[in-house]
């Protein structure tokens, strides 16, 4: 069985449906031990994804020009498109620990953003509220969404980090089932602070380094999780 470390693979732009079919194969490869833990980095043409739990009232109008696709991850509706870095994690949680896995992904993204000169935080979810999993600015704008699935101890799906997407898209639907959420991007934060916006290559390299470090060592405090576990976007 292959389990040590985390291999990062850059795929460039991939249509969403193609990536989902590939992800099913990647999960099988990990379950069968044909591949180790992997991080697939890519971008998608515009698409809004949602889950079976997402109310219709939170989705765009039927005439939306952006395709809608139902998916099997945790969370609710979110957007993928140009100007984002998408990361799909296919890892064995028995190596990493499902209890802390999402938090470790959050912290790795915070560390990556910090290395680029931007402050970011994670937020605890109040009891009975929709999930606040993700990466946020100190003034509670959302910079990155995280939504994952665990099946047979192997994860799929992952995160979307906003580098310079079209933020107006988020006004056409309710992101992450949070009616008051305001999405932001590294480009917007850079403009506000008067610093150069990072390139997609710089963001990719920073995220790769942070996640490789965070997910290559076992979490000694972790416990097992059952199939179909998810984390909200």
Active site residues: 176
- In the structure encoding, which two tokens stand for residue 130, read together? 């929709």
Q: What crossing angle do the helices spanning 98-115 and 200-214 adopt, rounded to 10°?
A: 140
Q: How buried is residue 12: exposed, middle or buried, by Cβ count under 10 Å (0-12/13-18/19+)?
A: exposed
In angstroms, the CA 52 to CA 99 distance is 24
Q: Measured in whole angstroms, how far is the alpha carbon of residue 64 from the centre of its chain?
A: 23
In angstroms, the CA 201 to CA 221 distance is 34
Among 83, 85, 88, 119, smallest CA distance to 24 is for: 88
* Strand partners for 41: 10, 87
Question: Is residue 124 within 8 Å of 133, Cβ to Cβ?
Answer: no
- In the structure encoding, which two tokens stand for residue 232, read together? 């909200």
Measure Cα distances from 150 to 82, 89, 147, 174, 179 in Å.
27, 11, 11, 25, 27
Question: Is residue 21 within 8 Å of 232, Cβ to Cβ?
Answer: no
Helix, coil or strand: residue 41: strand
């Amino acid at each position: 069985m292959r389990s040590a470390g985390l291999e990062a693979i850059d795929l460039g732009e991939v249509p969403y449906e193609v990536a989902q079919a590939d992800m099913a194969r990647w999960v099988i490869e990990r379950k069968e031990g044909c591949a180790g833990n992997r991080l697939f980095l890519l971008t998608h043409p515009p698409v809004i994804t949602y889950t079976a739990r997402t109310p219709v009232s939170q989705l765009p109008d039927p005439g939306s020009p952006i395709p809608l696709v139902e998916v099997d991850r945790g969370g609710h509706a979110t957007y993928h498109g140009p100007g984002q870095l998408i990361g799909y994690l296919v890892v064995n949680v028995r190596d990493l620990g499902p209890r802390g896995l999402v938090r470790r992904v959050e912290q790795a993204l915070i560390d990556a953003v910090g290395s680029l000169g931007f402050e970011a935080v994670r937020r605890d979810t109040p009891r009975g509220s929709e999930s606040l999993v993700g990466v946020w600015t100190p003034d509670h704008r959302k910079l990155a969404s995280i939504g994952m699935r665990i099946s047979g101890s192997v994860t799929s799906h992952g995160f979307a980090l906003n580098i310079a997407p079209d933020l107006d898209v988020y006004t056409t639907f309710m992101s992450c089932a949070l009616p008051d959420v305001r999405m932001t991007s590294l480009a917007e934060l850079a403009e506000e602070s008067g610093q150069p916006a990072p390139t997609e290559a710089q963001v990719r390299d920073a995220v790769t380094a942070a996640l490789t470090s965070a997910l290559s060592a076992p979490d000694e405090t972790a416990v097992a999780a059952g199939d179909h576990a998810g984390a909200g976007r």
